[in-house]
Chain A
Amino acid sequence: MKAVRLNGLLAIALVAAMLLSLAAGKVWVAPSTWWSDDLSGLIIMELRIPRTILGAAIGAGLGMAGAAMQGYLRNPLADPGVFGVSSSAALGAVTSLYFGFAMTAWLLPVFALIGAGIGMGLLALLAGRSGSLILFTLAGVIIASLAGSLTSLMISLAPTPFATTEIVTWLMGALTDRSWDDVKLAVPLIGIGMAFLMATGRSLDALTLGEDAARSMGVNVVRLQWLAVIGVGLTVGASVAAAGIIGFVGLIVPHLVRPFADHRPSAVMLPSALAGALLIVVADSIVRLLPSVSELRLGIAMALLGAPFFMALLFKMHRELS
């Protein structure tokens, strides 16, 4: 009952936020003109609706990916961004930008997906099975810094200043000027990824009792690992491909919903997706409304919000341990 109420509330809030976000921006468009044939109608149909849908999908994907990673690793600090999956996806995408492959619309996402898959796979390979928090954190740090330095290498070796600028701006993460093409590409991939993640729910619950107990109850850990790798790879890869790196959603959101969803990993997944979507849609609307010359990049805004949250989380853990 609790779960139904929570999901219902979040869904209503999400729909409301999405509708409001259509009105928000440099140009205020009143709902009465949304369906007109003039400029306002065009702004809504071609800019705002795809941007809102994409933002919601990315937020949902990242939120659920974070919840699944935290459950899989039994580690409340796990997040695709913190542990290098996003940077691996970005490295893949940057590689395609570097070679100028971005001309073909589908190559950048493919590269980003491959990057995310390799990052998550490496993480699972290095530390996933051991369940060791230290090993996992180290593995994540190494992957994130390796992907980061390779990305920097690409930037410094970029053939033209134009390519450099393109890579740098893209890396900062934003939903600005996204079109229906981006929606058509990213949303189905994120959806499939989320389906994979939803399939992990029961096994993640069993992992609450540790790996031996979970396996003795029939959990197939190899299957679980693949579901997690593919699910996180697809959601994060597609998100990064469509909007660059938007960090911390996967870290923050599961923590916010967990107390309302009785803490069971499978019960946290769907609320995390809804709350992640809500967070991105609201944050992106605020970013659009801020009075600045050029729009504040959403990726930067989320990092400014997320990093202090992460620190607060560490302080709380520190207090609980001492």
Chain B
Amino acid sequence: MSLAFEALSLTLRGRKILNGISGQFQPGKVTVILGANGAGKSSLLSCLVGLREPQGGSVTLGDRRLLSLENRERGRLIGLLPQRPDIHWNVDVKTIVGLGRLPHAGRWGMSAADHEAVERAMIATDCTDLADRQAMRLSGGEQGRVLLARVLAGEPQWLLADEPLASLDPAHQFDVLDRLKNYATDGNGVIVVLHDLTQAARIADDIMVLKDGAILAAGSREEVMTAEVMGQAYGVEVQITTSNTGEPLVVPVRRL
């Protein structure tokens, strides 16, 4: 099922955030959303998850309007990894990951299938050793893994992540991105908002670039990840090269 948005417009406190934009995402691919601060990335993401109701236009999942779906069904189909790690009570990691099953769970708690999904998610994110630790007391990198496991446990067809790399060191950045990539390879849709251009170039199949609430460019990584587009999007000069071992390097060198 593809996830699409049509003529989406959003105004918050009198400021136009999204300007009647349209686009489409394909399952099985990682789409990275890029853009300067305030370009509308997070707002677009929250419309795609159904957290915000746009003033105009609509989001559709397959042939159904997102906002016509019942809350819990929407929760089963689309998972969100929010920007900031937010854990409130002193609960253990197992419980946190288990919360990801809430959209599936029946009235009387978790079924065997729920427990298996939690188990799989914890294995996929290497959280099994943390199972009984207090989630609040973990390091930033560990919390990132646990919260990703929470989303994976819900087995959503679409996984949307808002700047999942914030506050992660390079090694953990690779870990999180590789897990997202694997999730897409399994046939699910993955949409990620990123600020790190090199990481974006490394992981993206498709890239969508926003500027001032409009879509500046959208397409495959090769088409979009160019010095020209990045220059327009961020107002900086970027150099695009490859490392000795062949990985793309996208480095901002000066302000334009």
Using a CB–CB cutoff of 8 Å, the interface residues on chain B facing chain A are 46, 49-51, 70-76, 78-80, 82, 84, 86-92, 95-96, 99-100, 102-103, 105, 147, 150, 154
Contact = CB atoms under 8 A, between A and B. Distances in A.
Contact of B154 (A74, A215, A217): A217
Interface of A: 71, 74, 202, 205-210, 212-213, 215-220, 258, 262-265
Given A216-B51, A217-B100, A263 B91 contact: yes
A273 B215 CA distance: 53
B72 A218 contact: yes
A209 B72 contact: no
Given A212-B80, A264-B89, A265-B89, A218 B75 contact: yes
A133 to B, nearest CB: 11
A217 B99 contact: yes
Given A212-B51, A212-B82, A264-B95, A217 B88 contact: no
Given A202-B102, A216-B51, A209 B87 contact: yes
Contacts of B100: 217
Contacts of A218: 70-76, 102-103
A213 B80 contact: yes
A4 to B, nearest CB: 12
Contact of A205 (B79, B99, B154): B99
B75 A217 contact: yes
A74 B91 contact: no
Given A74-B88, A218-B71, A206 B99 contact: yes
B82 A208 contact: no
B92 A207 contact: no
B15 to A, nearest CB: 19
A217 B103 contact: yes
Contacts of A205: 99, 102
A209 B150 contact: yes
Contacts of B103: 217-218
A210 B89 contact: no
Given A210-B88, A212-B51, A263-B89, A220 B71 contact: yes
Contact of B90 (A71, A74, A207, A263): A263
A86 B82 CA distance: 36
A288 to B, nearest CB: 37
A258 B90 CA distance: 9
B99 A215 contact: no
A216 B78 contact: yes
A250 B87 CA distance: 23
B205 to A, nearest CB: 23
B191 to A, nearest CB: 13
Among A208, A217, A219, A265, residue most surrounded by chain B Cβ atoms (within 10 Å):
A217
A264 B92 CA distance: 9
A215 B46 CA distance: 10
Contacts of A212: 46, 51, 80, 82, 86
B102 A216 contact: no
Nearest to B71: A218
Contacts of B78: 216
18 contacts: A205-B99, A206-B102, A207-B88, A209-B96, A210-B88, A212-B80, A213-B80, A215-B51, A216-B50, A216-B78, A216-B82, A217-B72, A217-B103, A218-B70, A263-B90, A263-B91, A263-B95, A264-B91
A74 B89 CA distance: 8
Contacts of B88: 74, 207-210
A74 B46 CA distance: 22
A212 B51 CA distance: 7
B71 A219 contact: yes
B79 A209 contact: no
